[in-house]
Amino acid sequence: MIALVIILQIALCFWHSIASVVFRNDSGMSRYYLQLQNSAQGNPSNNFAYWIVSFLTFWLLYGYLVPISLFVTMEIVKFMYVGGVLWGDLGGGGMVCVYVGG
Protein backbone atom coordinates (compact mmCIF):
# COMPACT_ATOMS: atom_id res chain seq x y z
CA MET A 1 0.00 0.00 0.00
CA ILE A 2 2.79 2.41 0.90
CA ALA A 3 4.71 1.57 -2.27
CA LEU A 4 1.62 2.51 -4.26
CA VAL A 5 1.42 5.88 -2.49
CA ILE A 6 5.12 6.56 -3.17
CA ILE A 7 4.70 5.62 -6.84
CA LEU A 8 1.67 7.91 -7.02
CA GLN A 9 3.69 10.71 -5.42
CA ILE A 10 6.52 10.28 -7.93
CA ALA A 11 4.03 10.25 -10.82
CA LEU A 12 2.33 13.40 -9.54
CA CYS A 13 5.66 15.18 -9.11
CA PHE A 14 6.81 14.10 -12.56
CA TRP A 15 3.59 15.21 -14.25
CA HIS A 16 3.31 18.53 -12.44
CA SER A 17 6.95 19.44 -13.00
CA ILE A 18 6.52 18.77 -16.75
CA ALA A 19 3.34 20.88 -16.71
CA SER A 20 5.26 23.63 -14.93
CA VAL A 21 7.97 23.67 -17.60
CA VAL A 22 5.38 23.68 -20.39
CA PHE A 23 3.47 26.56 -18.76
CA ARG A 24 6.69 28.49 -18.25
CA ASN A 25 7.69 28.13 -21.90
CA ASP A 26 4.24 28.69 -23.43
CA SER A 27 2.63 31.50 -21.51
CA GLY A 28 4.63 32.11 -18.36
CA MET A 29 7.36 34.13 -20.04
CA SER A 30 4.85 36.62 -21.40
CA ARG A 31 3.47 37.35 -17.93
CA TYR A 32 5.80 40.06 -16.67
CA TYR A 33 4.52 39.91 -13.08
CA LEU A 34 5.77 36.31 -12.66
CA GLN A 35 9.34 37.40 -13.48
CA LEU A 36 10.09 34.06 -15.19
CA GLN A 37 12.31 35.68 -17.80
CA ASN A 38 14.85 36.66 -15.11
CA SER A 39 17.21 34.02 -13.80
CA ALA A 40 17.18 33.93 -10.04
CA GLN A 41 17.47 31.41 -7.28
CA GLY A 42 14.80 28.78 -7.89
CA ASN A 43 14.22 30.04 -11.43
CA PRO A 44 17.06 28.79 -13.63
CA SER A 45 17.08 29.63 -17.33
CA ASN A 46 17.85 26.02 -18.34
CA ASN A 47 14.66 23.94 -18.81
CA PHE A 48 16.15 20.76 -17.34
CA ALA A 49 17.39 22.58 -14.24
CA TYR A 50 13.98 24.24 -13.90
CA TRP A 51 12.36 20.79 -14.18
CA ILE A 52 14.62 19.43 -11.39
CA VAL A 53 13.80 22.39 -9.13
CA SER A 54 10.09 21.98 -9.85
CA PHE A 55 10.23 18.22 -9.22
CA LEU A 56 11.92 18.73 -5.86
CA THR A 57 9.46 21.48 -4.95
CA PHE A 58 6.48 19.27 -5.75
CA TRP A 59 8.14 16.37 -3.89
CA LEU A 60 8.27 18.53 -0.76
CA LEU A 61 4.70 19.72 -1.26
CA TYR A 62 3.31 16.22 -1.82
CA GLY A 63 5.50 14.76 0.95
CA TYR A 64 2.55 14.86 3.32
CA LEU A 65 0.74 12.19 1.29
CA VAL A 66 2.76 9.32 2.78
CA PRO A 67 2.35 10.15 6.50
CA ILE A 68 -1.34 10.97 6.11
CA SER A 69 -2.04 7.77 4.20
CA LEU A 70 -0.05 5.77 6.75
CA PHE A 71 -2.13 7.25 9.56
CA VAL A 72 -5.39 6.55 7.75
CA THR A 73 -4.32 2.99 6.90
CA MET A 74 -3.34 2.24 10.50
CA GLU A 75 -6.63 3.62 11.82
CA ILE A 76 -8.60 1.47 9.37
CA VAL A 77 -6.62 -1.63 10.35
CA LYS A 78 -7.19 -0.94 14.06
CA PHE A 79 -10.91 -0.45 13.48
CA MET A 80 -11.20 -3.69 11.50
CA TYR A 81 -9.19 -5.63 14.09
CA VAL A 82 -11.35 -4.39 16.96
CA GLY A 83 -14.47 -5.27 14.99
CA GLY A 84 -13.08 -8.74 14.34
CA VAL A 85 -12.29 -9.32 18.00
CA LEU A 86 -15.66 -8.08 19.22
CA TRP A 87 -17.78 -9.97 16.71
CA GLY A 88 -15.83 -13.22 16.66
CA ASP A 89 -14.08 -13.16 13.30
CA LEU A 90 -10.68 -13.21 14.98
CA GLY A 91 -9.51 -14.86 18.13
CA GLY A 92 -11.68 -17.98 18.08
CA GLY A 93 -15.21 -16.97 18.99
CA GLY A 94 -15.07 -13.38 20.02
CA MET A 95 -14.91 -12.11 23.57
CA VAL A 96 -16.19 -15.01 25.59
CA CYS A 97 -15.37 -15.49 29.24
CA VAL A 98 -14.41 -19.07 29.72
CA TYR A 99 -14.08 -20.30 33.29
CA VAL A 100 -11.11 -22.55 33.69
CA GLY A 101 -11.66 -24.21 37.02
CA GLY A 102 -9.87 -26.82 38.85
**65 vs 95, which has greater pLDDT?**
65
What's the half-sphere exposure (Cβ side, CA atoms, 13 Å) at 74?
A: 6
Model pLDDT for residues 21-75, shown as the tens digit of each residue: 998 888 887 888 777 777 776 678 788 988 999 999 999 988 887 677 777 888 8
Q: What is the pLDDT of residue 12?
A: 92
**Other beta carbons within 10 Å of 79:** 10
Radius of gyration of the chain (CA): 25
pTM as predicted = 0.59
**80 vs 69, which has greater pLDDT?**
80
β-bridge mates for residue 43, sequence order = 40
Q: What is the pLDDT of residue 95?
A: 56
